[in-house]
Structure 1
């Protein structure tokens, strides 16, 4: 990234204007600064101390605290040459939220339609306006890098069942070229590898891709290619793949319409796509138990505004992107709980919102939260082992 791109994206945020701060460009919303450009190689963002700690810990080559008192308040340097577009966009969204008044922040929760473009165009054009975004912590690459190890060890094995359900609904063969968008540590790609010719694995989190590369090396696989990129701006030509998937990834995109459009663009005519999203907590005993154990929905639970957890929205958004014969169906798989301690440990290690909640809490706060959560789980599951089903919606469609 560079200063020109940072300026362009900052001015694309709602009501953003450019002024000057000590002779350097700054960017404001309602006269509150959310970003400055003190030099050609860096940007400075208004973050909270918790956000700063998370980002600098996850990506120390990209982020550093501003020296002195301003840094202790959360102001954070981004080294632009070391950042990618997805990281810049998500950090901008966090900083803008920290500066904008509450009423205006709602414009990021209800974004308008994405700018239109020809299906053959390779991602958004440089002169496209930066889209409004509902980016929160789970739209940040640093958040997923922060939880990558625990996610790979604790969550990936459970999610493999949903990936298998998706693959059962797709026509795959030894000559198939597949793209896996928001691939994580390879939950779906590792299952695809022995069945297809080539898998392009796209994720914006270097931590997740590092775990994927470890699996590739250990298994001696040669047909999986990791690629760090934004799923809303895929670095591939049009009509390159036979099959495309995004398992529990596109649901978090700040601009879902752009994500669906990019998935459509890179598929060949007749190509198939599968996209999954979690159903609401009320339909999933596993998710409901965790939410109730925490006392309230953790950050980045399915939003109050209709999202892909609504099967009608999932079908409509996929159809609007140009897919035909879109079918949405519920898929359920269960997790076995053998004891409360190991179950809760896996949730804290492998579920991003809970890991981030722990990170943001003081030790005393977390001790109280954890004790209450484990007591609730023990009360809700008096007989162990127990099976806890979780429900997802799986959409499958075809590009004409």
Structure 2
């Protein structure tokens, strides 16, 4: 997936409904883990940058926080608003994480789960997150570890290759946030203090091959673009081939692992 995806609205609009319906199967453990780095009370104000369909926002609101959620995709925000209907402490809006519409020193904490990692200008994203935090506020940013280290991603790309021999597992990118040294340096360059980068691995299980395929493909912006480009008949052909492959290679309810890097820092 290109690191420019977060600067283009269309892929995220295409995937918004599928992301809302299937994304939690993989993302919910990471959203819950992110909040373990925060102390949240009824007076806490949190910003959720590139909030997607609101898993982190809703989890924080359920702990009592007042949350401002922002995402570049109107369709993502529509899904978030619908999911957050029972949480009046969540305010959601369309906007750019590289140019946040909030005043300085506004929030006690800032989150960005698997969003800032795709920004065209990550330096601006980190700087903006730091800017809107109160002194001593906590920033928590999550990015995926290399795909090759994830049995979940290897399963997905094995299925993709069965359907399309040109598909390949993404290669490690030492310039991205999957490199802990880059992650650490970019957070420090934004002025954040006491920065640390930690790994967190979650296990996910699926009842069958179809559920695995649907969960991963319907929550992937990159694959939503592929589906749109190749057309529905070809996508359905590829899906059938991929599910056939997974039916052979994946035993139902077998755990698959995937790892994220969490960057944690403190606003000066």
TM-score, L = length of structure 2: 0.91
Is 1:273–2:142 an aligned residue pair? no
Cα offset for 1:171? 2.0
State how far apart, in whole Å, the 2-side matches of 1:302 and 1:171 are.
36
State how far apart, in whole Å, the 2-side matches of 1:195 and 1:225 are.
16
State how far apart, in whole Å, the 1-side matches of 2:60 and 2:185 are.
27
Is 1:359–2:228 an aligned residue pair? yes
Instruction: Give the secondary-structure state (helix, strand or coil) at the position aligned to 1:161.
Output: helix
State how far apart, in whole Å, the 1-side matches of 2:113 and 2:259 are.
13
CA offsets 1:154-204 (integer angstroms, 9 cap, x no match): 003431210111111122222111100001111100011132341110111
Q: Is 1:302–1:309's contact at 8 Å kept on the other side of the alignment?
A: no
**Which one has more relative contact order, counting CA pairs under 8 Å at least 6 apart?**
2
The aligned residue for residue 286 of structure 1 is 152
Is 1:206–2:74 an aligned residue pair? yes
1:47-126 to structure 2, matched below 5 A, reads none
1:296-315 to structure 2, matched below 5 A, reads 296-297=167-168, 304=173, 306-315=175-184
Cα offset for 1:346? 2.4
Q: 1:198 to 1:291 in 2, by over 3 A?
A: same
CA offsets 1:288-311 (integer angstroms, 9 cap, x no match): 21122212248xx57745201111
Q: Is 2:40–2:65's contact at 8 Å kept on the other side of the alignment?
A: no
Q: Aligned to 2:129, which of 249, 258, 263?
A: 263
1:69-218 to structure 2, matched below 5 A, reads 136-217=4-85
Q: Is 2:6–2:72's contact at 8 Å kept on the other side of the alignment?
A: no
State how far apart, in whole Å, the 1-side matches of 2:147 and 2:99 are.
31
Mean alpha-carbon deviation: is it higher for 271-280 or for 283-292? 283-292
State how far apart, in whole Å, the 2-side matches of 1:136 and 1:317 are.
17
State how far apart, in whole Å, the 2-side matches of 1:361 and 1:253 are.
26
The aligned residue for residue 196 of structure 2 is 327
State how far apart, in whole Å, the 2-side matches of 1:356 and 1:143 are.
6
TM-score, L = length of structure 1: 0.62
The aligned residue for residue 225 of structure 1 is 91
State how far apart, in whole Å, the 1-side matches of 2:245 and 2:159 are.
5
Q: Is 1:177–1:196's contact at 8 Å kept on the other side of the alignment?
A: no
State how far apart, in whole Å, the 2-side matches of 1:211 and 1:276 are.
21
Is 1:236–2:102 an aligned residue pair? yes
State how far apart, in whole Å, the 1-side matches of 2:146 and 2:65 are.
36
Q: Is 1:251–1:277's contact at 8 Å kept on the other side of the alignment?
A: yes
Larger of the two Rg values belongs to structure: 1
Cα offset for 1:329? 1.1
Instruction: Give the secondary-structure state (helix, strand or coil) at the position aligned to 2:256.
Output: strand
Cα offset for 1:363? 4.5
Instruction: Give the secondary-structure state (helix, strand or coil) at the position aligned to 1:315.
Output: helix
The unaligned stretches of length 5 or more in structure 1 are 1-133
Cα offset for 1:153? 0.5
Is 1:399–2:237 an aligned residue pair? no
Cα offset for 1:280? 0.6
State how far apart, in whole Å, the 2-side matches of 1:212 and 1:366 are.
27
1:336-355 to structure 2, matched below 5 A, reads 336-355=205-224
